[in-house]
Amino acid sequence: MSDTPYNPKGPARPPASPRRGEGGQDARSAERRRDAAISKLKAELAAQAALIAGQEVALAHSRKIFDRASVAARIGVWECSLPGEQLHWTDVVYDLFDLPRGAALDRSEIIKCYPAESRKALDTLRSRAIAERSGFTLDAEITTFAGHSRWIRITATVECEADVPVRIFGMKQDITEEKILSDQMRYLAEFDAMTGLANRARFQARLAQADASRPLGALLLIDLDGFKAVNDTFGHVVGDECLKAAAERLADGCGEADLVARVGGDEFAVLLGSHLDRAAVSGVAREIIDGMGKPFAVRGQSLRLGASIGIAFAGAGSPCDLFAQADTALYAAKAAGRNTFRIFKAEAGAKGRSAAA
């Protein structure tokens, strides 16, 4: 018998083999899909690279703008690690201290650039900021490593990690020109531009501040005798020079005064402390009169002036009362023949006159 097994449908057939070309098509299709995925990834990477490159360009431009603005504004950034005290500065801070950019920094040496007063203020504010996890702002004077005097504005913020201070950082700005301008503005607001003495505004402010902590003893109002004749005869230029010389002589003769001020054209005021008694105040007035009676050498001219003085002693009245009383005494001195002084007395003032010293 035949060894071939019986099959009702006929003899068994061998398994069908793939059609010609089908295997190659599948491989090529898979390869195309892989190539497409790779191309897509490459395109995405290229897009990301372009985006990063654009961001780097923008960042570089922003950094350049910041650096230029920082240099123009004289503002630099600083950082100090805690508690290690390691300093890091941007270029402008090096410039502020006249140090080569990138030089090694030692805080113990840097702090020596601050004079005692600024150093004390800096240490106080810095310690408080670290303790309170806060910040501060301070205008401080420095003397740079090249010996230049500058004013800088320091801003600082304390950074913490797990509530532990790890660094303090901020900005330092050169405010020297701002400080000079501010001082000039304050000087013009408080001092007489011609004579350099305190002006009327500062005089009135000091008068208003008189209290138990800053008591006043007496007020002397001084009027220059003969100044109008000098001004009319020799002109305003000589008159101004004469006024400056008189102011200088007055200031030199009132070394113990609380304040010497020019309160009018040829009128001056001297505030004396409460430590001077009546005799001492009278002595100051006599010295002023003697000093003003000596000739003034101005532009080749020997000019003579005099001084009439009204004195009022501080009491229970207001600052306005003290000024009015000294003014009353001044008029009495002028009425008495000038080149003398008078002291206001309350009982005499009530009758419209002043008693002689």
| pLDDT-above-70 percentage for the chain | 85
What CA–CA distance (Å, rounded) separates 332 from 310? 8
Q: What six digits make up the tokens of 197? A: 């003495």
Burial 156-189 (b: 16+ CB within 10 A, else e): bebeeeeeebebbbbbbbbbbeebeeeeeeeeee
Among 266, 290, 321, 327, which one carries the catalytic annotation? 266
Share of the chain above pLDDT 90, in %: 59
- Whole-number pLDDT of residue 240: 92
d(C-alpha 269, C-alpha 251), whole Å: 11
- Order the strands of the 87-89 sheet from edge to edge: 87-89, 75-81, 164-174, 149-161, 135-143
Closest CA to 309 of 324, 293, 329, 292: 329
Element holding 12 (H helix, E strand): none
Whether the bond between 83 and the residue before it is cis, its omega within 30 degrees of 0, is yes
Strand partners, 296: 303
Q: For the whole model, what pTM was predicted? A: 0.63
223 contact partners, CB below 8 Å, separation of at least 6: 266, 267, 307, 308, 309, 330, 334
102 token code pair: 């990138």
What's the sign of the alpha-carbon dihedral 320, 324, 325, 330? positive
Count Cβ neighbours within 10 Å for each residue of 231-240 and write b for 16 or more, e otherwise.
Answer: beebeeebbe
**Residues 171 and 78: beta-carbon distance below 8 Å:** yes
The pLDDT tens digits for 283-308 are 999 999 999 999 999 888 899 999 99
Reading the block at residue 75, the tokens are: 């503002």
Task: Tell me which of 78-87, 157-166, 312-321 is least confident.
Answer: 312-321
Distance between CA atoms of 357 and 345, rounded to whole angstroms? 10
CA angle 301, 302, 304 (to 5 degrees): 130
pLDDT, tens only, 205-239: 988 887 766 788 899 999 999 999 998 889 989 99
Tally helices (H) and strands (E) across the chain. 11, 13
**Across residues 326-351, what is the average pLDDT?**
83
223 is catalytic: no
Phi and psi at residue 45, in whole multiples of 5°?
A: -65, -40
The confidence score (pLDDT) of residue 352 equals 43
Per-residue pLDDT at 1 exceeds 60: no
Q: Is there a contact between 282 and 313 (Cβ–Cβ < 8 Å)?
A: no
pLDDT digits (tens, 9 = 90+) for 158-188: 999 999 999 999 999 999 999 999 999 998 8
Q: Taking 80 as the threshold, does the pLDDT of residue 81 lie above it?
A: yes
Instruction: Give the pLDDT score at 70.
Output: 57
Domains along the chain with CATH numbers: 73-180 (3.30.450.20), 191-356 (3.30.70.270)
Residue with token string 């007063």: 117
Phi, psi of 158 (to 5 degrees): -95, 130
Does residue 17 have a pLDDT over 60? no
